Each structure stands twice: as C-alpha cells, then as structure tokens.
C-alpha cells in the first residue's frame, strides 16, 4: 500500500474517532448541531460530517483541522490538542539559505524554484527603485524649466506630488503614472481561519492565523486572498471600508486588482 493510501486510511480512522468523541460530548451537554453551528459559525452540515467521520463531505485536511479545533473549544475541550491528532501531512519546507553552497548532487527542483523566486523578487525591487528615481528626476527637470524670475520662489516651496495629481502649486505639468496603482489589502481575523495570499503570481503566505491577527499585503497588479472561514476574515482594500470575505465556515477566494485608471 502506498504512503498516500496509508495517510488517507489514517485520516478516516482518526476522523471517525474524533467525531464520535465530539458527538458524545455534545450530547452530554444537551446541545444540538444547530446550537453548535451558531456558536462556531461553521455550517451545520460540516459539523454533522465531522461527527459521522464523512471525509468526502469535508474540505481539505487543513480546513478540517481548523473545524475540529473550533468545535472542540465550543464544547469546552482543548481544541488545539485534539486538532493536532488529525493528520494533514508535512506542510513544512525546510529551506536552506540561498547563499549556502550545496553539493550538485543535493540540488532538487524545489531548491531551484526557490532560488528563481528570490532572484525575481530582487529584480522587481531594483526596478521599482529605479522607476522612482526616474520620476523624481523628471519632476526636477520640469521645475527647472520655469522662467528665471519664478525659479527662486518656486524652489522654496517645491513639493513632490503624487503622479496622478496636478502640480498647480509650482506650475509643473502633471506627470501621468507609468505603472498601476499598488493593491493594498489589510486582513483582520475575527475568528481562526486558514489563509492563502498570492501577490502578482507569487505565494506570500499560507497557514492558519488565530483570532485577533492583523496582516497587510501589497501587490502591483493583482492580489488573491483565499480563506477557509471567510466569515471570520475582515478585509480592507486600498483604504476602503472593511468587509467580511464571505459567510462563516465558507471557503472563499477574492481577487483584488489595481485601479485601471492609473495603469
């Protein structure tokens, strides 16, 4: 039997045992699934599938582990300890520093991929700095082209204005942005949830975040946010009013893109 089949069998057995334990504890407290659904903000059908050990009716293992934790804590149990009993596989990547020299025989595709991503990030940062310096030089040249009588007065009140605003204070010609307005997304966790964030095609974060966590991510073109408990995640897009990513217990993915007016 393959390692994958063994892992699936272990998940089935563990889920059946945990589900039975949770069901008995719920019945001892005379609570209904409807009560637990309202308390945990997990859909009732998901809680029923947990109790009955129906792995096929549940989402990915990482979500199941989060559901077990929330359900157990709602019953007064140690949710963190129970959820660790459910196997999700080894998701950790032991990454050696890029500058560490590895023997050729030890290099694997994952190492080459990580080095490639690191080089791309460095190149993007360098290009961004170069574009910023170029914009500052253009603004300075426009100010110097003004008439001599106004030059000394304008120099005292010279300002660097945002690319998409008119520089009326110094009489300069508006500078239209040559790159899109960045995408900024702030995330606040009202409840524990698994989160996955991809910016411009690059994975920035993937893992379980606890209640009360606040994170901010930025992209140039596009930013994807995927959550396992969408109702417990508040998102603020480019200073707009914070909104829930979706319904409680729902797996939801939202894509935020740069404002095309500034592209």
Q: Is the pLDDT of residue 73 over 90?
A: yes
206 phi/psi in degrees, rounded to 5: -155, 120
Please state the rounded mean pLDDT for residues 235-255.
91
Residues in CB range of 188: below 8 A, 6 or more apart:
213, 214, 233, 234, 235, 236, 242
- Residue 247 near residue 237 (C-beta atoms within 8 A): no
Residue 116 has a pLDDT of: 77
pLDDT digits (tens, 9 = 90+) for 135-187: 656 555 554 554 444 444 434 443 333 333 333 333 333 333 334 568 999 99
What's this model's pTM, rounded to 2 decimal places?
0.35
Q: What is the mean pLDDT of the chain?
A: 77
Q: 262 with 164: CB under 8 angstroms?
A: yes
The proportion of the chain whose per-residue pLDDT surpasses 70, expressed as a percent, equals: 70
Task: Quote the percentage of the chain above a pLDDT of 90.
Answer: 50
- The strand pairing partners of 28, in sequence order, are none
The reported pLDDT for the residue numbered 107 is 52
Q: Give mean pLDDT, residues 15-20.
A: 92
Q: What is the pLDDT averaged over residues 120-124?
A: 84
């Amino acid at each position: 039997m393959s390692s994958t089949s063994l892992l699936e069998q272990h998940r089935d057995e563990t889920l059946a045992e945990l589900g039975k334990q949770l069901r008995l504890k719920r019945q001892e407290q005379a609570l209904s699934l409807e009560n637990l659904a309202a308390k945990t903000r997990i859909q009732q059908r998901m809680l029923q599938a947990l109790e009955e050990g129906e792995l096929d009716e549940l989402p990915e293992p990482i979500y199941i582990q989060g559901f077990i934790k929330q359900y157990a804590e709602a019953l007064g149990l140690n949710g963190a300890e129970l959820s660790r009993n459910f196997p999700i596989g080894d998701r950790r990547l032991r990454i050696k520093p890029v500058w560490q020299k590895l023997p050729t025989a030890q290099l694997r595709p994952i190492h080459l991929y990580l080095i490639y991503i690191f080089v791309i990030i460095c190149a993007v940062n360098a290009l961004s700095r170069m574009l910023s310096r170029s914009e500052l030089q253009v603004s300075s040249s426009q100010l110097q082209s003004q008439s001599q009588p106004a030059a000394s007065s304008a120099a005292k009140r010279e300002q660097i204005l945002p690319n998409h605003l008119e520089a009326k204070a110094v009489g300069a010609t508006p500078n239209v942005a040559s790159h899109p307005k960045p995408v900024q997304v702030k995330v606040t966790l009202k409840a524990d949830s698994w989160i996955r964030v991809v910016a411009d095609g690059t994975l920035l974060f993937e893992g379980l975040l606890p209640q009360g966590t606040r994170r901010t991510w930025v992209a140039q073109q596009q930013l994807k946010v995927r959550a396992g408990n969408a109702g417990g995640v508040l998102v603020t897009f480019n200073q707009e009013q914070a909104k829930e990513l979706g319904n409680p217990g729902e797996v939801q993915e939202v894509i935020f893109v740069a404002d095309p007016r500034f592209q």
